[in-house]
Amino acid sequence: MNPAAPSPAITASGLRKSFGEKVVLDGVDLSVAEGTVFCLLGPNGAGKTTAVQILSTLLPADGGQVRVAGHDLVREPDAVRAAIGVTGQFSAVDGLLTGRENLLLMASLHHLRGAEGRRRAQDLLRRFDLVEAADKRASTYSGGMRRRLDLAMTLVGEPRLIFLDEPTTGLDPRSRRTMWQIVRELVRSGVTIFLTTQYLDEADELADQIAVLDQGRIVATGTSAELKRRVPGGHIRLQFTEEAPLAAAEQLLEEASRGEGLALNVPGETNVRALRALLTRLEQASIEVEGLALHTPDLDDVFFALTGHAAAESPATEDDGASTNEPASASADKPATTAASARDAASSHVPPQQPSTPNASAPKEPTR
């Protein structure tokens, strides 16, 4: 670690948790630098939510040392609670209260004076574009509005460290963008963010550091670029209308392989330079290409490369995410376990390919 870097907001070593026979976290080590976005990336059932629940004092760990915001998690839970804010996977807003009342409730619980509480509530309503809906019941809010209110409630106490557990799961693209924008603004103001997500593009957009969690273990850490470099699967797909140019291209590009139909997959980088070089080669050889598509590594590729098995999606995921307008059902706090068992059933477990080098890439200095 860089000695000049500020003290870490979170350090965890050997974090373990089991529910009965089921091992959910199997010796997790984490270090989150202050003022950065740390992203825990993994499929459903990887243990992301459990990790957040432990780090935010909701669940006791079975083993391991954890310090959050400078306090020992077990000995000083209240000091930890005073420093953190948590926005869970399912919006924890009071549907019977209005947006403003929800914020005032938080202000009262943080023991703010009446005027100060009202001022902060009004600021947050404005900042989160909820002024018009401020005096409507939260149960009438759309999914995106509920998430925004949820996060606004978390911010009433001005926490230094915020846990965001899958903040955009089930949101429409526009609400996702808004949420990302909010997260960026928070980081600019010096807050540390601990984010979990199952979307690689989200980690890509926001995270300074990414840790890939699979079956309760961290299988890789690094920046987004570092992780992608380790992941094959990116390719340029060339589409042809006739067999002749396809065969010619196949001969020209030795590393390429045939795809479905009259298509050729050229593995490698998918950036502009690689694309230009490829097109130049084809043009010089006078090979007519009908069309092309870029395939960048996605979460599946990352998972396949890092763990040797695919990130099997639980079909329940999309359903859970889509129902953001409804109060979370009772299954709300269970998807982690159900998805895990579904995945175990769906794919035979292959041991991680590089168990001895889980932290191959050296931790980078925070970019901010």
- Residues near another protein (CB under 8 A) are 19, 53, 56-59, 78-79, 81-82, 84-86, 88, 90-97, 101, 105, 108-111, 137, 153, 157, 327-330, 332-334
Q: Which amino acid is at 171?
A: L
| C-beta atoms surrounding 331 within 10 Å | 13
The region that residue 215 occupies, defined by phi over 0 for left and psi between -120 and 50 for alpha, beta otherwise, is: left
- Nearer to another protein by C-beta: 90 or 304? 90
Helix H or strand E encompassing 25: strand 22-33
- Nearer to another protein by C-beta: 152 or 219? 152
Where would I find the beta strands (DSSP E) of the chain?
8-19, 22-33, 37-41, 63-68, 71-72, 84-87, 161-165, 192-197, 209-214, 217-222, 235-239, 257-258, 263-267, 291-295
> Least separation, in Å, of the C-beta of 342 and another protein?
18
Q: Which amino acid is at 229?
A: R
> Least separation, in Å, of the C-beta of 59 and another protein?
5
> Least separation, in Å, of the C-beta of 304 and another protein?
32
Helix H or strand E encompassing 119: helix 114-127
> Least separation, in Å, of the C-beta of 299 and another protein?
26
> Least separation, in Å, of the C-beta of 218 and another protein?
22
By C-alpha distance, which of 238, 245, 278, 281 is closest to 260?
238
- Nearer to another protein by C-beta: 333 or 344? 333
- Nearer to another protein by C-beta: 301 or 320? 320
- Nearer to another protein by C-beta: 24 or 305? 24
